[in-house]
Amino acid sequence: MDKLNFFYTFYDEINHKAKSVSPDLLLETAKLIKDVKRNSGKIIVIGNGGSAAIASHLSIDLTKAANIRAINFNEASLLTCFSNDYGYESWVEMALESYADSSDMVILISSSGSSKNIINGANKALSMKLPLITFSGFSSDNLLRKLGDINFWVDSSTYNIIESIHQMWMLSVIDYLIQENL
């Protein structure tokens, strides 16, 4: 493979995947976020690894740039405390139990759509009747993709493609909300 061809192929795939989203899903997501703000709720964004970094970025931009309250759970002390006391697979559900209010919304990000702690968190959000938006990739029938009110899925098995697209889609919603002067 031509060394430069790798990058052309990579960016062609990014462009193709980015455009594969339904604009209706993005607008529906923006509407849910507006409803949460209108009801004085907050957006809770959670992921693992690279998806945790995306969760941080999204929660900061929602809060600072879009003036919508948002949090993420990337505090090492919180993660290790909840993981130690409840097990890693249960830390997300326990964090939601501790921090989520009835007017909140949850966004869960898992490239594989099969991370047990994220699946357990999704089930907790559902049991709490919180609006749930999911972002996943890999298998089209991954479990997380079946759980949300709105489910975004990237048709790829490459982590950096999936994570880049997840972030791009959600940041486009945030920029839309900013433009709408929410």
Q: What pLDDT digit, counting tens, does each position of 135-174 carry? A: 999 999 999 999 999 999 999 999 999 999 999 999 999 9
Residue 93 belongs to some domain of the structure: yes
pLDDT reading at 182 higher than 70: no
Each residue of 53-109: pLDDT tens digit? 999 999 999 999 999 999 999 999 999 999 999 999 999 999 999 999 999 999 999
Query: Is residue 1, in this structure, part of any structural domain at all?
Result: no
* 15 occurs within a structural domain: no
Strand 105-109 versus strand 132-136 pairing type? parallel
pLDDT at 3: 86
Q: Is pLDDT above 90 for 5?
A: yes
Residue 41 lies in a domain: yes
CB 62 within 8 A of CB 182: no
Question: In which domain, by residue range, is 33 found?
Answer: 23-179
d(Cα 138, Cα 76) in Å, to the nearest integer? 28
Q: What is the pLDDT of residue 181?
A: 80
Predicted TM-score of the model (pTM): 0.96
CATH number where 157 lies: 3.40.50.10490
Sheet holding 132-136, edge to edge: 70-72, 43-47, 105-109, 132-136, 150-153
32 part of a folded domain: yes
What domain count does the chain have? 1
pLDDT class of 2 with cuts at 50, 70, 90: confident
What Cα–Cα distance (Å) separates residue 121 from each residue in 103, 110, 114? 17, 11, 12
Is 173 part of a structural domain of the chain?
yes
